[in-house]
Structure 1
Amino acid sequence: MRPIILFLTLILMQATLIEGGEGKDLGIEIYPTPQEVSLHKFIPLPNTFRIKDKAGIILKEDLKLYKDFFISKGCSYEEKPTSFLISYERGAPEHKTILRPEGYALKIDEKGMIVRSDGIDGYFYAYQTLRQIVKESGSSFEIPLGEIKDYPLFPVRGILEGGYDVWTHKQRLKILKWLGKLKMNYYMYCPKDGFYFRRQWRRMYPEEELENFKEYLKTCKENHIVFCYSLSPAMSMVYSRESEFETLLKKYRQIQDLGVKNFSIFFDDVLPLLSNPEDRAKFKSVAEAEVYVTNRLYKKLKERDPEVRLAFVPNQYWDVKRSAYLDTVKEKLNPEIDIGWTGMKITADKITKQDAQKFIDYLGKRPGLGDNLSPLGPIYDRSGDLYETCDAYIVNPCGFASPGIAQLTKFFASTLADYAWNPLAYEPERSFRIACEKLCGEKLAGKLLRLSIELSGKKLKKEYIGYETHFKKVLGRLAQEKDVTKFKSDLMKLKEELNELSNLGEIILKSNLEETLKAQVFNFSLLKEAEEKAVKSIQLIDEFFKKERTSSHDCSFLVKRLSTIL
């Protein structure tokens, strides 16, 4: 009985739009949550528009995005003084960054729209916001007046593909495109079981594989994502042998020659031992050997391109307990090289500002946070002030590494984007609700999606889904209501909500969710059961309203009957 109560509870929850302090009176929800929003009324989109690029830095591809968007909404491009002016200018809100300026500002009035940014990426992110605030109104579209000032709090936000399986080429491209829409800016290529990544790290990429990388880079550029390439030689490399280093460097050079500037090297998930006699003769410890190779690699890559960045993922990549291994890393690793870290555990229950501060206090630099949390639900228990001690928030969707479920990454990837952009405003329940709605293309199907995920017994932290008591409270209030007129009014509201459940199959079929995802997350047998119970409850309510006269006893009896069904 409880699954149906949970299911109906989730449907009934959120009947009123939850606002995150943004466009509150207009029913606008921008995702990820912006820093400052002041929107006060809608006006019809103009019939004509024109563009003026005063900044001189926006990419032509992004200019086309804006132009195509307004044309798709029924506007014509006309260079005349009376046209709605879209002006691109400098002067975005200031924000901390180690990567690139990404802040933007939108100011909209009856005459036009000013888009401000000090970097090419800010204009792209402003576009992602613009397409969320223009709404359909009958046969036309409307745009709100007002201003948005926005920027990310984590400079680096993205996905680390590091599970023990490998996404297909097409799946990887789909996920990269999804990340761009969510204003994420970083993708780290490091599939543990990738053929060329670890076990066969010495083998050079054939031309076919290099063509795949070129396509990733093209997609990343279109979506303003930094591509980070990685290798893991730790299982078999002879660290002291020059020919091994030359092979390693040659492999990295294949990708560097494609224009990649961000790299990482992984020494995780292997025994921390020097198994080769040559290495034992040269190095005092495995940490010394790993740092030696990493420093040399960084120097060689940087000789060819001064803008190169390199991250080092150590064998001890969690916790910050003092050890000889980390002492060596602290003492000998080039301070310009980032250090990967997963929190206080391999998969941390919580990660706080104070946890990261311990890392800083020990190793003398901020950690490159690679979170191994991968629920089919929202990111949770990551503190709102974590950005103050971490520059990067990157998540490893290791729970969805299998090609068959790779697209499930989109659920929590959406909420991690929301968290990483504005952790101070992040609300897990709200974020997951919006993520589901965006995946499905509309609100009701999004609700059904959330509910079905929970009914399917997937990994969710229940207090962040928001379903536990609502439906019981509805019946409880009806049971206590002594005024028959008020009882009937509340009962009609309940019937309207139950009507949403009476055509579940049709709602699911019409949703925009990919067919493969529908099969993976919708529990059709439980949904059908819920639909049948909703129909039966509606029939009881209709019978109640057909009575010429009703008493408080009739009301009480109806509540008892509904309780046995729902």
Structure 2
Amino acid sequence: MKSAGFAVRGVIEGFYGRPWSHEQRLDLLGFLGARGMNTYVHAPKADRPSWREAGVQGLGELAARGRQAGVDVIHCLSPGLSLRYSDAGDVQALCVAFERAMEAGAAGVGLLLDDIPLRLRHPRDAAAFDDLAAAQVALIEAVFARTGRLIVCPTVYCGTGDDPYVRALSLIDARIDLFWTGRSICSATIDLADAAAVTRTLNRAPLYWDNYPVNDVAMGHELHIGPYRGRDRHLYRFATGVVANGMELYESSKIAFATVADYLRDPEGYDPEESWQRALADVVGDGADLAAYRLFADNVRGSCLEPYDAPRLTGVLEQWAFERESGDAVAADRLLAEHARELLAAAEHLLRGPVRRSALVAEARPWLEEFERGALALLATARQNVRPHPRRPAPKRVFGDCLEEFSW
């Protein structure tokens, strides 16, 4: 399979919530390497308040495992909330922390300046620098001089790039990579025109920190296990690479990660649906487990990348409504009952039957329980022989809400 030119292909642990365990990170490195990925970025938000005391425990083992798998381990720190840019001692302490990470085996380091106020907060900083961008440029150059390989997440990291802060930050050394998330924090699409415009503004091709399949903060009710989509097939022409931000749900994240790997390996030939089917078999296994999980997964596809939560169920409901409106209520209810029983059998197997990937199923239990409740409601509806609501609103994204398209 041909190489499409993404220099960086990987995953970033950059979500809000409980970080992955050391054992999960070790497992991830093998998972990534086996699928042609070459980068793991350690950047969990829960580590942010402790940058001054941040150690490198476990980093050496991660770095060694990464080298075996062909995966660079990038160690990040987030000093933006407490570091004083004008304080030489603070700058020195940050540089030393990064140097220790490099000595422990990190292939590079990341300076995360995201999700902080877009202004200088310390009076001495305000007296020493014209604005936040000027202070950060000085800090970035000091760190880069001590480390040699640096990735920076700027405070403004999405949009069109036409921003005074972004233009000022673009003056840093061109060898420093800059993270970018696209038009939005969670971008539904990343197209070539936007990527080209951002490349011109940043004076370098961006390294996309892609916020999928992450489901933190307001997205916590969503289970992001659908395929990677909406990225231009020629994005590699204006991107250093892509690192996909995972969910706190480590095992579930692997499904999306496998599709990301397929895209990064061959973006021009990538087919989201084909990749997704392979990913499900790859992560879930085969046999009854796979058959049941596929039915479940098709009902929780909604995300910033996918507006429809349950395409197959929506089709069944549409056909059910049509048959009832045409006067064949028996056929309509038989169709709905048959599909409901199929869904119930899948839920029963995953929730109570023997499964090989028990950690994967355990993570999804809240969604599986909702899936089962929805299937029971469908079966009850099929037995009631009632007419659907005459006005049918647009499909909903949440599985349970799909049932509200009809009145019974």
TM beyond 0.5? yes
Query: Who is 2:8 aligned against?
Result: 156
Partners of 1:528 and 1:204 lie apart in 2 by 45
The answer for the alignment partner of 1:523 in structure 2 is 368
Find the partner of 1:178 among 18, 31, 35: 31
Alignment-derived partner of residue 514 in structure 1: 358
Counterpart of 2:237 (choices 388, 392, 399) is: 388
Partners of 1:285 and 1:260 in 2: CA distance: 32
Checking the alignment, whether the CA contact within 8 Å between 1:441 and 1:511 is kept in structure 2 is no
TM-score, with length taken from structure 1? 0.56
Hey, what's the Cα distance between the residues in 1 that align with 2:281 and 2:42?
29
Q: Percent identity?
A: 24
2:43 counterpart residue number: 190
> 1:359 maps to what in 2?
198
> How do 1:430-469 residues align onto structure 2 when only pairs under 5 Å count?
430-442=274-286, 445-455=289-299, 459=303, 461=306, 467=312
The offset of 1:474, in angstroms, is 10
Please name the residue that 1:269 is paired with. Answer: 115
Residues 1:292 and 2:148 aligned together: no
Cα distance between partner residues in 1 of 2:159 and 2:277: 32
More strand per residue: 1
Q: Structure 1 residues 245 and 507, CA, compared in 2 at 3 Å: closer, same or farther?
A: closer
TM-score norm. by structure 2 comes to: 0.76
Q: What pairs up with 1:240-259 in 2 under 5 angstroms?
A: 240-259=86-105
* Distance in 2 between residues matched to 1:192 and 1:241, nearest whole Å: 24
1:316 to 152, 156, 178: 156
The whole-number CA distance in structure 2 between the counterparts of 1:353 and 1:425 is: 16
Structure 2 matches for 1:80-229, cutoff 5 A? 150-165=2-17, 166-194=19-47, 198-205=48-55, 210-229=56-75
Q: Which residue of 2 aligns with 1:129?
A: none
CA shift digits 1:162-213 (9 cap, x unpaired):
111222222322333322222211111111111xxx21211152xxxx3411
Aligned residue in 1 for 2:328: none
Q: Is the 8 A contact 1:455 1:523 kept in 2?
A: no
CA apart distance, 1:464: 9.2
Amino acid at match of 2:312: Y
Which position in structure 2 is the counterpart of 1:546? none
Aligned partner of residue 268 in structure 2, secondary structure: helix
Q: 1:283 to 1:526 in 2, by over 3 A?
A: closer
Amino acid at match of 1:159: V
Please tell me the residue identity of whatever aligns with 2:94: L
Task: Determine if contact 2:114/2:155 at 8 Å carries over to the other structure.
Answer: yes
CA 1:443 to 1:430, structure 2 compared with 1: closer, same or farther past 3 Å?
farther
Change (3 A) 1:276 1:167: same
1:274, distance to aligned residue in structure 2 (A) = 1.3
Instruction: Give the root-mean-square deviation of aligned CA atoms.
Output: 3.6
Q: Distance in 1 between matches of 2:301 and 2:202?
A: 40
Closer/same/farther in 2, CA of residues 359 and 424 from structure 1, 3 Å limit: same
Matched residue type, 1:435? A
Q: Compute the displacement of 1:334 (Å).
A: 1.3
Question: Equivalent residue for 1:407?
Answer: 251
Whichever residue aligns with residue 168 of structure 1, its letter is: S
Deviation at 1:468, TM superposition (A): 5.7
Q: CA deviation at 1:506?
A: 5.5
User: How does 1:485-524 map onto structure 2 within 5 Å?
Assistant: 505=348, 509=353, 511-518=355-362, 520=364, 523=368
Aligned residue pairs total 355
Q: What 5-or-longer segments of structure 2 have no aligned partner?
A: 214-223, 321-337, 383-408
Q: 1:214 to 1:515 in 2, by over 3 A?
A: same
Name the structure 2 match of 1:564: none
Three-state SS of the structure 2 residue aligned to 1:154 is: coil
The answer for unaligned runs of 5 or more in structure 1 is 1-34, 36-149, 303-308, 476-494, 538-566
User: Residue 348 in 1 paired to residue 187 in 2?
Assistant: yes
Q: Which residue of 2 aligns with 1:67?
A: none
Corresponding residue for residue 422 of structure 1: 266
CA distance in structure 1 between the aligned counterparts of 2:295 and 2:346, rounded to whole angstroms: 15
Per the alignment, in what secondary structure is the counterpart of residue 198 of structure 2?
Answer: helix
Task: Classify 1:441/1:326 alpha carbon distance in 2 versus 1 (closer, same or farther; 3 Å).
Answer: same
User: In the alignment, is the contact (CA less than 8 A) between 1:378 and 1:464 conserved in 2?
Assistant: no
